Amino acid sequence: MWFFLLLILNEDAARRGLEIAQESDRANAGFVSEYSEMEMVLINAHGDQTVRKLTTETMEMEDDGDKSVSMFLWPADVKGTKMLTWSHKVDDDDQWLYLPALKRVKRISSKNKSGSFMGSEFAYEDLGSQEVEKYSYTYLGDESAEARECYKLERIPVSTRSGYSKQIVWMAKDLMNPVRIEYYDRKGELLKVGVFKDYRQVNGFWRVHEIEMKNVQTLKSSLIKWESRQLGQEIAEDQFTSESLTE
């Protein structure tokens, strides 16, 4: 009897977790496109900082994950570097990196999704849109985080190539967006903590304007700060191809 009761409770928690994830997805759908200007700050264990400037364009796709391309503007050693991501709902994301010094486009292998993006604490797999279908979910209860009332979820990546065994997400009830995520490595140990700050409404959508990603194992951290975010502009889909990265 206890076994069946536990099974029912687990099924209820999984169902509720999926419902919350789907509600968040609906709250963020319909933005059409986004153009962002950002600053990325890399901070080593001693507190030394490296600052970079970049832009990102994103195109919302109806039947699959979003497409995005990021381009570094400054400093000179990374200027012109571009990253193209085709997110997918079920399959591993397709990603390409253009390195201007080599004048060639490099495809990122699905085996390397857990690798560091440009020396930051953000992994390649963090850059794709977080599609609902990429995870299985468990609702862990209500718990406050970052001064907001939240739904606490466990989500486990479906892909066996993910660098994470699980993630614990605090989803703010008023924003239906995460304010804190704990990322656990393949050994099940806490790897890093992402804190999502300064949410503002842009064209009716809640958008984060600062993410702090701290690696608790190396004590390194990275910040992404949005200087501007524009939604709804018309963007041509042909600029989200590997060939366009060399233009």
This prediction has a pTM of: 0.94
CATH number for the domain including 88? 2.50.20.10
Whole-number pLDDT of residue 113? 82
Structure tokens at 126: 């963090």
Cα–Cα distance measured from residue 59 to residue 52, given in angstroms and rounded to the nearest whole number: 23
Average pLDDT, the chain: 93
* pLDDT score of 73: 98
CB atoms within 10 A of CB 40: 22
* Mean pLDDT of the 62-69 span: 93
Could you identify the residue written with the tokens 């660098």?
163
For 167-188, the pLDDT digits (tens) are 999 999 999 999 999 999 999 9
Would the CA dihedral through 14, 15, 19, 22 be positive or negative? positive
Bigger pLDDT: 68 or 11?
A: 68
Per-residue pLDDT tens digits for 92-139: 899 999 999 988 999 998 777 888 999 999 999 998 889 999 999 999
Query: Which strand (E) or helix (H) includes residue 30?
Result: none
Residue 80 pLDDT > 90, yes or no? yes
Task: For residue range 13-57, list pLDDT tens digits in order.
Answer: 999 999 999 999 999 999 999 999 999 999 999 999 999 999 999
Q: How many domains does the chain have?
A: 1
What's the pLDDT tens digit per position in 230-244? 999 888 899 999 999
Greater confidence (112 vs 197) lies with 197
Peptide bond between residue 100 and the one before it cis (omega within 30 degrees of 0): no
* Structure-derived torsion over alpha carbons of residues 241, 228, 167, 117, reported in degrees to the nearest 10: 50
Q: State yes or no: pLDDT of 199 exceeds 60.
A: yes
Instruction: Name residue 128's beta-bridge partners.
Output: none
Residue 238 structural domain? 2-246
Cβ 183 vs Cβ 194: under 8 Å: yes
Q: How many helices (H) and strands (E) does the chain have?
A: 1, 15
Whole-angstrom CA distances from 194 to 33, 170, 181, 212, 220 are 24, 10, 5, 6, 12
CB 137 within 8 A of CB 155: yes
Which letter does DSSP use for residue 88 in this model?
-
